[in-house]
């Protein structure tokens, strides 16, 4: 499989290393010095996009027009998802997006939803979330934390929204909102913790990434799955989790 890497930072380099080990070829690299319009994408079977929120939509538009399936790992653009879905339909294309491609994290998402259902009748327990990432992480809270928060608000009757002091919209806290604490520390690939606290005890679930390898390998699994398909997908489709 010929892969175009859209973004060649630390994540792009990790993907390239694992892709070659899996028998794939890197046929194109897009970065700050080599914008997407200047790169030959004619041999690409699929593109994997890890860049920035301000660049991702342009890349998606360009790749859809070129009829190249796209795996998108950039976060911070989900408000534009409805219009992106329309474009995918218009160009009869394929796009797979995820806030996190780690297989373990996506299983953690399902565990989080199930725990939220179990805890919903337990009014004595208050929920809080903490996410910790490296200092170069641009968005706060992380896309993974937002996905976890959405999983809780969809399955817990006492929570309808979330807030994070570090978030640019400064969502206001209320009795029906859960708090996300976003911390940035040196050399932390990603840790997410969901805590249910009562006066008498505490329940905690946590996912801790040891390296970028889980994110990189998961994006390649997604790319291998996406080729030959049409539509908009997530890792739930790749892992067949929609039926759970």
pTM of the full predicted structure? 0.80
Q: Where in the chain is the domain with CATH 3.30.360.10?
A: 103-208
Asked whether 159 and 176 are in contact (CB, 8 A), the reply is yes
What's the pLDDT score for residue 237? 95
What's the pLDDT score for residue 244? 57
Q: Is 133 a catalytic residue?
A: yes
Q: Where in the chain is the domain with CATH 3.40.50.720?
A: 2-101+213-238
Q: Is 167 a catalytic residue?
A: no
What's the pLDDT score for residue 15? 96
Low-confidence residues of the chain: pLDDT under 70:
167-171, 243-244
What's the pLDDT score for residue 178? 93
Among residues 59, 133, 156, 207, the one annotated as catalytic is 133
Among residues 113, 137, 156, 192, the one annotated as catalytic is 137
Q: What is the CATH number of domain 2-101+213-238?
A: 3.40.50.720
CATH topology of domain 103-208: Dihydrodipicolinate Reductase; domain 2 (3.30.360)
Asked whether 76 and 169 are in contact (CB, 8 A), the reply is no
């Amino acid at each position: 499989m010929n892969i175009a890497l859209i973004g060649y930072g630390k994540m792009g380099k990790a993907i390239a290393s694992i892709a070659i080990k899996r028998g794939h070829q890197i046929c194109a690299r897009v970065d700050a010095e080599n914008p997407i319009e200047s790169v030959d994408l004619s041999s690409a079977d699929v593109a994997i996009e890890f860049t920035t929120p301000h660049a991702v939509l342009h890349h998606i538009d360009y790749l859809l027009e070129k009829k190249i399936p796209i795996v998108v790992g950039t976060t911070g653009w989900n408000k534009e998802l409805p219009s992106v879905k329309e474009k995918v339909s218009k160009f009869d294309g394929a796009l797979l997006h995820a806030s996190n491609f780690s297989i373990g994290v996506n299983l953690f998402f399902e565990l989080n939803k199930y725990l939220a259902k179990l805890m919903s009748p337990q009014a004595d327990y208050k929920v809080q979330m903490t996410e910790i990432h490296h200092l170069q992480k641009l968005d706060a809270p992380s896309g993974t934390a937002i996905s976890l928060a959405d999983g809780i608000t969809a399955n817990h009757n006492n929570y309808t929204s979330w807030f994070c002091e570090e978030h640019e919209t400064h969502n206001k806290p209320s009795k029906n909102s859960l708090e996300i604490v976003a911390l940035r520390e040196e050399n932390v690939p990603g840790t997410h913790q969901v805590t249910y606290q009562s006066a008498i005890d505490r329940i905690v679930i946590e996912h801790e990434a040891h390296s970028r390898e889980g994110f990189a390998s998961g994006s390649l699994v997604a790319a291998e799955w996406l080729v030959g398909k049409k539509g908009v997908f997530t890792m739930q489709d790749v892992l067949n989790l929609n039926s759970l």
